[in-house]
Structure 1
Amino acid sequence: MAADSRRVAARYFAALCDKLARDGVDTAQLLRRSGISAEALGRQGATLTATQLQAFVSTSRELVGRTDLGFQTGLLIKLNSHDLLGYAMLSCRNVEQMLQLVSRHFHTMIDMFTVRYRRLGAVGEVVYSPVTSMPAEVLHFCLEAIAVAHHGQVAMLLGPALTGYDLLLTMPRPVHGALYDGLAPARVFFDAPGPAGVTVRMEGAMLDHHLPLDSPAVVQQIEEMLHTVRQRPLPDRDWGAFIRMLLRESRGHRLTLDEIATRIDVSTRTIDRHLLKENLQFRTLAQEVFLERARRLLAEPGATVEEVAHALGFAEAAGFTRAFRKATGVSPAAYRRAPPQRSAGRADMRAEASEAGRRTSR
Structure 2
Amino acid sequence: MRRDAPLAQVPARYLSALVQRLESEGFDTAAALAQAGIDRSRLDASEAWLTRSEQIAALQLLSHGSQRSDLGFLMGLSINLGRVDVVGQMLLNARSLHDGFQRLAPFFALVTPAVRMQVHADAAGLRSRFSLAHPMPYDVAVMVLEAVVVAAHRLMRFIRQERSTPCQLLLAWTAPSHAVQYRGLSGANVTFGLGGTPEAELRLSAEVADEALPMADAAAMVTAERRCAERLDELKALRGLGAWLRWLVYATEERQPTQAEAAALLGVSERTLSRLLVAEGTSFGRLSRQVRHDKACELLAQPALSLAAVAHRLGYTDLSNFSRAFKALAGGQTPGEYREVALRRTPPGG
TM over 0.5: yes
Return the TM-score normalized by structure 1.
0.60
Q: CA deviation at 1:6?
A: 2.3
Give CA-to-partner distance per residue, 1:22-47, whole Å, 9 cap, x none: 11122333322222232321212222
In 1, the alpha carbon distance for the partners of 2:65 and 2:6 equals 24
In 2, the alpha carbon distance for the partners of 1:56 and 1:174 equals 20
Q: CA deviation at 1:158?
A: 2.1
From 220, 224, 227, the counterpart of 1:225: 227
In 2, the alpha carbon distance for the partners of 1:4 and 1:65 equals 31
Alignment of 1:256-335 (within 5 A): none
**Is 2:196 the counterpart of 1:211?**
no
**Is 2:49 the counterpart of 1:50?**
no
Q: CA deviation at 1:101?
A: 2.0
Q: 1:4 to 1:15 in 2, by over 3 A?
A: farther
Is residue 15–residue 55 contact of structure 2 (8 Å, CA) maintained in 1? no
In 1, the alpha carbon distance for the partners of 2:8 and 2:154 equals 26
In 1, the alpha carbon distance for the partners of 2:88 and 2:348 equals 53
The structure with higher relative contact order (CA 8 Å, sep 6+) is: 2
Aligned residues: 236
Is residue 88–residue 222 contact of structure 1 (8 Å, CA) maintained in 2? yes
From 173, 179, 182, the counterpart of 2:181: 179
Q: CA deviation at 1:102?
A: 1.8
Amino acid at match of 1:221: T
**Where does structure 1 lack aligned partners over 5 or more consecutive residues?**
234-341, 345-362
In 1, the alpha carbon distance for the partners of 2:348 and 2:54 equals 36
Is residue 79–residue 87 contact of structure 1 (8 Å, CA) maintained in 2? no
From 100, 107, 113, the counterpart of 2:115: 113
In 2, the alpha carbon distance for the partners of 1:58 and 1:194 equals 22
Give CA-to-partner distance per residue, 1:254-309, whole Å, 9 cap, x none: xxxxxxxxxxxxxxxxxxxxxxxxxxxxxxxxxxxxxxxxxxxxxxxxxxxxxxxx
In 2, the alpha carbon distance for the partners of 1:12 and 1:156 equals 19
Amino acid at match of 2:19: C
Give CA-to-partner distance per residue, 1:292-331, whole Å, 9 cap, x none: xxxxxxxxxxxxxxxxxxxxxxxxxxxxxxxxxxxxxxxx
Q: CA deviation at 1:163?
A: 4.5
Q: CA deviation at 1:81?
A: 3.5
Q: Which secondary structure state, in structure 1, belongs to the residue aligned with residue 69 of structure 2?
A: coil
Q: Which secondary structure state, in structure 1, belongs to the residue aligned with residue 231 of structure 2?
A: coil
In 1, the alpha carbon distance for the partners of 2:145 and 2:174 equals 11
Q: 1:59 to 1:193 in 2, by over 3 A?
A: closer
Return the TM-score normalized by structure 2.
0.62
- The residue that corresponds to 2:274 in the other structure is none
Alignment of 1:1-362 (within 5 A): 5-160=7-162, 162-193=164-195, 195-230=197-232
Q: Which secondary structure state, in structure 1, belongs to the residue aligned with residue 227 of structure 2?
A: helix
Amino acid at match of 2:125: V
Q: Identity across aligned pairs (percent)? A: 28
Q: CA deviation at 1:169?
A: 0.7
Q: 1:220 to 1:39 in 2, by over 3 A?
A: farther
In 2, the alpha carbon distance for the partners of 1:150 and 1:80 equals 9
